[in-house]
């Protein structure tokens, strides 16, 4: 978090017309803050079977980045968790502990490249999706696929690419529109409209697709045959409710529930949320 604060301070004090300002915006948008692991989280990681896989970083380093994964249990029912931006597998400690009480399960979580304990300085949606695909490729289609924030969008992108069909998809405050998230982050750092537009143009040139294409309204290819539980907080400012509302209104078959006040990051630790996720999974696996 200290480095992110330094980046924000530098963005705020640098002349927007300077040659290197757009490079600063890449740091602002693509540096994922890394928070230390708490004692309880480390104890959970110590109990896990460790593994490592790779995801190709086609936009920054042009190398295969190693990312770290963790597996608990050896049951026949696989549960895979994809964390969100600025997060890591260990942040799901409370949920993982609760899920481990469900009989006959294997729980798998991982740190996306550029996040947590994994390699990489910068990260993006492509690395999130490719890491999820690598885990599914290694361990097979999970019975349950859980994603938080950007991890929710990444899971959809991974399923689109590999055609996997989990029994239950769980999305917790999923990011709906990436472009608007970028704009919000830049505006919060005091960046004016013109350099925002310049950054979005450079994003499209580097990535080969516009930031606006990272939109669950466009990416979601599932119908009523896919059981899907979407959990959100209508007061969430990171994944605004107006976008989730529009997404859900076009897909009335998606079960959903509001947890006002849970918070974008805190929702994955909410006892009510954890209880509802465990109940939903137990009903599917019974």
* pTM as predicted: 0.97
* Strand ranges of the sheet holding 168-172, from the earlier edge strand across to the other edge: 49-57, 63-72, 105-110, 77-82, 144-148, 168-172, 228-232, 255-258
Residue 286's pLDDT is 84
Nearest by Cα to 152 from 210, 85, 86, 93: 85
Q: What is the pLDDT of residue 238?
A: 95
Least Cα distance to 12 among 147, 187, 201 occurs for 187
231, 161, 128, 198 alpha-carbon torsion, rounded to 10°? -100
pLDDT at 2: 87
Please compute, for residue 53, the number of CA atoms within 13 A of its CA located in the half-sphere on the CB side.
Answer: 22
Contact present, 178 and 211 (Cβ < 8 Å): yes
Complete domains list, the chain, with CATH: 1-31+178-213 (no CATH), 38-176+214-285 (3.40.50.1820)
Q: How far apart are CA 267 and CA 261, in angstroms?
A: 8
- Residue-wise pLDDT for 23-32, tens only, equals 999 999 999 9
Kindly report, residue by residue over 176-215, the tens digit of the pLDDT: 999 999 999 999 999 999 999 999 999 999 999 999 999 9
The percent of residues in the chain predicted with pLDDT above 90, rounded, is: 99
pLDDT digits (tens, 9 = 90+) for 41-81: 999 999 999 999 999 999 999 999 999 999 999 999 999 99
**Whether 54 contacts 120, CB under 8 Å:** no
Q: Quickly state the pLDDT bin for 230 (edges 50, 70, 90).
A: very high
- pLDDT, mean over the chain: 97
Whether the pLDDT of residue 171 is over 80: the answer is: yes
For residue 87, pLDDT beyond 80: yes
- Kindly list the distances between the CA atom of residue 35 and the CA atoms of 80, 85, 90, 209, in Å, as whole numbers in the listed order: 22, 12, 10, 30
| Token output for 217 | 């309204």
> Mean pLDDT over residues 231-235, rounded?
98
Candidates 77, 49, 208; CA nearest to 144 is: 77
Residue 1 banded pLDDT, cuts 50, 70, 90: confident
């Amino acid at each position: 978090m200290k480095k992110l604060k330094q980046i924000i301070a530098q963005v705020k004090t640098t002349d927007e017309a300077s040659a290197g300002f757009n490079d600063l915006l890449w740091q602002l948008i693509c540096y994922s803050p890394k928070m230390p692991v708490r004692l309880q989280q480390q104890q959970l990681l110590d109990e896990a079977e460790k593994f490592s896989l790779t995801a190709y970083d086609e936009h920054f380093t042009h190398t295969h980045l190693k990312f770290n994964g963790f597996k608990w249990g050896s049951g026949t029912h696989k549960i895979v968790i994809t964390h969100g931006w600025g997060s890591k597998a260990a942040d799901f400690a409370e949920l993982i502990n609760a899920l481990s009480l469900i009989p006959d399960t294997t729980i798998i979580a991982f740190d996306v490249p550029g996040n947590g304990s994994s390699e990489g300085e910068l990260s993006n949606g492509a690395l999130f999706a490719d890491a999820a695909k690598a885990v599914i490729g290694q361990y097979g289609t999970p019975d349950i696929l859980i994603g938080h924030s950007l991890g929710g969008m990444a899971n959809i992108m991974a399923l689109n690419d590999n055609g996997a069909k989990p029994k239950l998809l769980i999305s917790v405050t999923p990011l709906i529109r990436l472009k608007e998230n970028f704009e919000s982050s830049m505006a919060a750092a005091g960046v004016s409209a013109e350099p925002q537009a310049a950054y979005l143009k450079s994003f499209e040139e580097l990535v080969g697709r516009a930031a606006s294409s990272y939109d669950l309204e466009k990416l979601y290819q599932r119908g009523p045959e896919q059981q899907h539980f979407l959990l959100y907080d209508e007061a969430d400012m990171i994944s605004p409710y107006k976008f989730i509302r529009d997404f859900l209104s076009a897909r009335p078959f998606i079960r959903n529930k509001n947890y006002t006040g849970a918070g974008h990051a805190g929702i994955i630790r909410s006892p009510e949320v954890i209880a509802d996720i465990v109940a939903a999974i137990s009903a599917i696996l019974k």
